[in-house]
Structure 1
Amino acid sequence: MLSIQDVLDYCDLDRGEIEAIAEHEHIPITLAAEMSESLLCSPEGVCRLHVMFQENMQRARARGNFEHVKTLAKAYEHLQRSHPLPGHHH
């Protein structure tokens, strides 16, 4: 049986990024980790990841949960560096 840490170690995304996918999709973190791997395989998937983060931040802001917005923003910055939107290379 793999531990959650084993699953996260296998992923190209970090825990904050995986947690954001789980939150957006309302799925367990292990499924979010698997989903992240398939999303990273295509430019469309990478775009979808960026949209998930933006939607999570909008929802957290709408609820007034600014601590969570900060947490998501930090994870999103990492995503932007490690997996920039296609055509937006720095």
Structure 2
Amino acid sequence: MITYEECLELSDLTADEVDAIAEHEHVTSMIAIALGHYMITHDGEQKIKSIIMDDIDKAEREKNYQHAEMLRKVLKHFIATHPEHHAKKAA
């Protein structure tokens, strides 16, 4: 049986990125890994970025500023580690 950690390692996402997808889509972490991996491998980086930004907006509306700040760090890391979207837009 494959473990959560093995799936996460194969997904090209961090645990925090997976958690943001799971939060936004209201799914389990394992489903979020599969969904996130699919988006990464099918030009969906912009969608993941939008998901994280939506989560930030929701946290701020709920006045959960600590969570919003953590999600900003997740977004910053995602953009830094997945530059493919930005390179494709420039081309």
Q: The TM-score by the shorter chain falls in which range?
A: 0.7 to 0.9
Shift >6 Å, 4+ stretches: none
- Per-residue CA deviations over 1:1-35 (Å, capped at 9, x if unaligned) read 22221211111011110110000000000000011
1:10 counterpart residue number? 10
Unpaired runs of 5+ residues, structure 1, are none
Q: Structure 1 CA distance, aligned partners of 2:62 and 2:17? A: 20
1:20 counterpart residue number? 20
Q: Structure 1 CA distance, aligned partners of 2:10 and 2:78? A: 16
TM-score after normalising by structure 2: 0.87
1:80 counterpart residue number? 79
SS at match of 2:45: helix
**Are positions 1:65 and 2:68 aligned together?**
no
Instruction: Select between 1-10 and 24-33 the one with higher mean Cα deviation.
Output: 1-10
TM-score after normalising by structure 1: 0.88
The structure with the greater share of residues assigned to helix is 2
Q: Structure 2 CA distance, aligned partners of 1:63 and 1:16? A: 19
- CA positional deviation for 1:46: 1.2
SS at match of 2:41: coil
Tell me how many residue pairs correspond in the alignment: 88
Q: How does 1:49-60 map onto structure 2 within 5 Å? A: 49-60=48-59
**Between the two proteins, what is the percent identity of the paired residues?**
25
RMSD between aligned alpha carbons?
Answer: 1.6
